[in-house]
Amino acid sequence: MKPIQTKILLAFAVMLFAINFNSYGQTQANMNADAYSTWKKADKELNVVYKQILKKYTGQTTFLNNLKKAQRLWIQLRDAELAVKYPDGEDFGSVGPMCKSSYLEKLTRDRTKSLRAWLTKAPEGDVCNGTTGAF
């Protein structure tokens, strides 16, 4: 192989490596943004489920008042849980926003799962189901 062909081949190989290396990398800022976006999607899903419950139980005033109160308290608990895990003033580095968003997503998905109980029929014979599936 001629020296010029070797140089061209080598330059081409380096260029391919550089393209592939960069295409799989992700900056911390990108990961932070992705985690935030994922949490916001989970939050939107929670709000959809919450609104479905409000619609399903229209006319059940006591239940709805208690649900609204519980949801407000849950939001306070969620925020308090976040503050315990990631206190203000502590430095969690560049991964901090990603970690906080991931934790908020987990808490939100757990709450959504809990709320879904009011959208499904309780199993036959479950005498301790309270209001889930009762109306």
Per-residue pLDDT at 19: 53
What residues contact 123, with CB distance under 8 A and at least 6 apart?
A: 129
The answer to whether residue 124 sits within a structural domain is no
pLDDT band at 44 (very low <50, low <70, confident <90, very high): very high
pLDDT band at 133 (very low <50, low <70, confident <90, very high): low
102 contacts 42 by C-beta, under 8 angstroms: no
**How many domains in the chain?**
1
* Chain segment 51-98, per-residue pLDDT in tens: 999 999 999 999 999 999 999 999 999 999 999 999 998 899 999 999
pLDDT band at 118 (very low <50, low <70, confident <90, very high): very high
The answer to whether residue 31 sits within a structural domain is yes
Per-residue pLDDT at 23: 45
Determine the residue type at 3.
P
The answer to whether residue 72 sits within a structural domain is yes
Per-residue pLDDT at 3: 67
Q: Domain containing 111 — which CATH number?
A: 1.20.1270.180
Residue 103 has pLDDT above 70, yes or no: yes
- Measured in residues, the chain has a length of 135
Q: What is the residue range of 97's domain?
A: 27-116
The answer to whether residue 54 sits within a structural domain is yes
Integer distance in angstroms from the first to the last C-alpha of the chain?
82
Q: What is the pTM of this model?
A: 0.77
